[in-house]
Amino acid sequence: MILVLLIIAMLLLLLLRVPVAISMLLPCLMYVVWSPDITLGVALQQTVSPINSFPLLAVPLFIMTGYLSNAAGLADRLFRMLLTLFRGIPGNLGFVNVFSSLMFSWMSGAAIADAAGLGSVLVPAMKKRGYDEKFSLGLTGASSLIGPIMPPSIPAIVYAVSANVSVEKLFFAGVIPALVLTSILCLFVYRDARKNPLRVEASGLNLTVLEAIQSAIPVLLTPVIILGGILGGVFTPTEAAAAAVMWILILSLFYGSLSFRAFQGVVVKTTTTTGSILLIVAAAGLFGWVIAREQGPQAVTEAVLQFTDNPVVFLLLINLALLVTGMFLEPVAALLITVPVLLPASLEFGVDPLHLGIVMILNLVLGLLTPPVGLVLYVLSSVTGASVQNVTRGTVPFLIPLLITLLLITFVPAFSLWLPSLLPK
């Protein structure tokens, strides 16, 4: 009963538009005050402990990498290379849209950074060449979800810390699912190009393929530094994040593309974003401790086992529950709330924690494209000038490839587990 009241109190606060961290903290503090055997010192320890984590240090560093890449115009070099490579191919701007998101995901780790950085360039370019505005907005929104799946993924770091699994292995677990999503989106672009053969395609820039690739090679070295360093045992994920920041700074200084004012803006945005994430992490630490103390995971496991003992049905139930959760909570907050409850139950059904992590992340990032939270919808509206209603209508058809990807990842665990299995133990 106490657990139910806590959850109801949190949901009511969320409905009243109270920030997520405060919505979790207030009910927990009331629980602590009314419990005679809990001191405020214990509550403070449970709140601070989750953010005292070395792997979490990678979060602000990867966030800074994404903001720096945008501010220094390094993403533009990738865009120009792709535009040259796909020159003359029907639907080329659609393919450039998808692959730009794939490449930028190696530096950002967040869908919002992708949507903000590439949406302002790609959507106007696609509209100018005769693409339907809704299709352009929907494709940009859908492709931005590659970022939270492909390493370095911010939600992956948060899940790994919450579930006590290897950040390194979870990074590599996301590679094939991200490529699956990329492939399915490309099929939708190809289908659209076949339906609109008279569209005026972008002719590209006055660059040869060799010139375009040479211009982008230094930027393309960023994922090599991150993933190659981790795989080669040179860096931990946190150290790789620091190396990525240094490399982007070196490139920015070499190209002279980052002003001091722009750098100040990057620092402010990084600090603001990191602060909001870590505040949620701290609040979720206390919330998760209270849930565990009231035996919430055991109750959920028993309830699910009474309903079904079939792992397939269990995974379907998880998908439905998380899709709804993602509509109301942003992914980091949702992960911190749901992992302590769902992980013990999934272990009872024999679901690998790495597989569960990718399934949970993909489910919850879908909420970035659905009202009422839908942060990517608002970001795209802001950077393109389109109404939120138009952005929403444009993203609806792209929920189909996203849901197809979700089902494939859910019921074919090898997509998530094969690459991590190749890593040294």
Q: With bands split at pLDDT 50, 70 and 90, how would you rate the model's confidence at 198? A: low
pLDDT tens column, 225-258: 888 888 777 888 888 889 989 999 999 988 888 8
Mean of pLDDT values over 98-115: 84
Evaluate if residue 109 carries a pLDDT over 80: no
**3-class state of residue 19 by DSSP:** coil
pLDDT tens column, 271-329: 988 888 888 888 888 887 887 787 766 677 777 777 788 888 889 988 988 888 888 77
Q: Residue 203: its pLDDT value, please?
A: 53
Q: Residue 183: its pLDDT value, please?
A: 95
Query: Are 69 and 226 spatial neighbours (Cβ–Cβ below 8 Å)?
Result: no
Q: Residue 205: its pLDDT value, please?
A: 60
Q: Residues 217-220: contacts with CB within 8 Å, 24+ apart?
A: 218/251, 218/254, 219/69, 219/74, 219/75, 219/77, 219/78, 219/107, 219/251, 220/78, 220/103
- Quick one: how many helices (H) and strands (E) in the chain? 23, 0
- pTM equals 0.84
Q: Any idea how long the chain is?
A: 425
Instruction: Please give the Cα distance from 416 to 413 (Å, whole number).
Output: 6
CB-CB neighbours of 316 under 10 Å: 15
Amino acid letter for position 34: W
Instruction: Please give the Cα distance from 85 to 106 (Å, whole number).
Output: 19
Q: Residue 263: its pLDDT value, please?
A: 92
Which two structure tokens, joined as six digits, stand for 291?
A: 């849930």
Tracing tokens 């919850």 back to the chain, one arrives at: 364
Q: Residue 55: its pLDDT value, please?
A: 80
Mean of pLDDT values over 342-348: 89
Greater confidence (407 vs 379) lies with 407
Q: Which of 180, 154, 183 is nearest to 357 (CA)?
A: 154
Q: With bands split at pLDDT 50, 70 and 90, how would you rate the model's confidence at 353? A: very high
Q: Residue 199: its pLDDT value, please?
A: 58
Q: Report the chain's mean pLDDT, rounded to a whole number.
A: 85
Evaluate if residue 356 carries a pLDDT over 90: yes
Q: Residue 234: its pLDDT value, please?
A: 85
What are the residue ranges spanned by the domains of the chain?
Answer: 51-279+374-422
Q: Residue 400: its pLDDT value, please?
A: 92
Q: Residue 209: its pLDDT value, please?
A: 81
Mean of pLDDT values over 369-374: 80
Q: Which of 177-181, 326-330, 401-405, 410-414 has the lowest mean pLDDT?
A: 326-330
Mean of pLDDT values over 183-209: 77
CB-CB neighbours of 411 under 10 Å: 13
Mean of pLDDT values over 176-205: 81
Mean of pLDDT values over 194-205: 64
Q: With bands split at pLDDT 50, 70 and 90, how would you rate the model's confidence at 137? A: very high
Amino acid letter for position 68: L
Mean of pLDDT values over 158-174: 91
Instruction: Please give the Cα distance from 363 to 368 (Å, whole number).
Output: 10
Greater confidence (143 vs 11) lies with 143
Q: Residue 194: its pLDDT value, please?
A: 85
Mean of pLDDT values over 57-82: 83
DSSP letters, 367-421, are: GGGSTTT-HHHHHHHHHH---HHHHHHHHGGGHHHHHHHHHHHHH-THHHHHHHH
